[in-house]
Structure 1
Amino acid sequence: MNTFLITFLVFLLVVTAMAVGVIFSNRKIKGSCGGLNNIDGLEGDCVLCNKKKCEKKQALRDSQT
């Protein structure tokens, strides 16, 4: 039981340290928001980040179909 508690506390400290690091670095967490737009059949804007589709990319897709 002691091993479990020590392990849990270590993980808790690591997660807390990472969260504090992200907060103090004052940067947004970045990801691949446009990934779902590359799937056929899914149309529309990214709901989560409000990114608009690239007009050049959409024109290229339309010309290829």
Structure 2
Amino acid sequence: MVTVFLATFAVFGLVILGMSLGYMLRRKTLQGSCGGIGSLGLEKVCDCPEPCDARKARMAREEKLNQKRIL
């Protein structure tokens, strides 16, 4: 019984170690298999009436790029 527990613990430990190494080497953000909330057509996760400062800055940059493309 203890042998099965230790073997299972070791396998899970190796899986977690492999996943963490893959994350550290690729530097990609973690996401679900369905593509996350973007696949639902939603732009933000929360129901906040006012976007955060980082989002405001990103929106301003995107607007600036879109204006340059039009000209």
| TM-score with structure 1 setting the length | 0.51
Aligned counterparts of 1:9 and 1:44: Cα–Cα separation in 2 = 47
Aligned residue type for 2:20 = A
Match of 1:21 in 2: 22
Give unmatched runs, 5+ long, in structure 1: 55-65
SS at match of 1:36: coil
Pick the structure with more helix per residue.
2
Aligned counterparts of 1:34 and 1:18: Cα–Cα separation in 2 = 27
Match of 1:12 in 2: 13
Give unmatched runs, 5+ long, in structure 2: 38-42, 60-71
Out of 20, 28, 51, the residue aligned to residue 55 of structure 2 is 51
Size of the aligned set, in residue pairs, is: 49
* Greater RCO, CA 8 A, separation 6+: 1
How large is the RMSD of aligned CA atoms in angstroms? 3.1
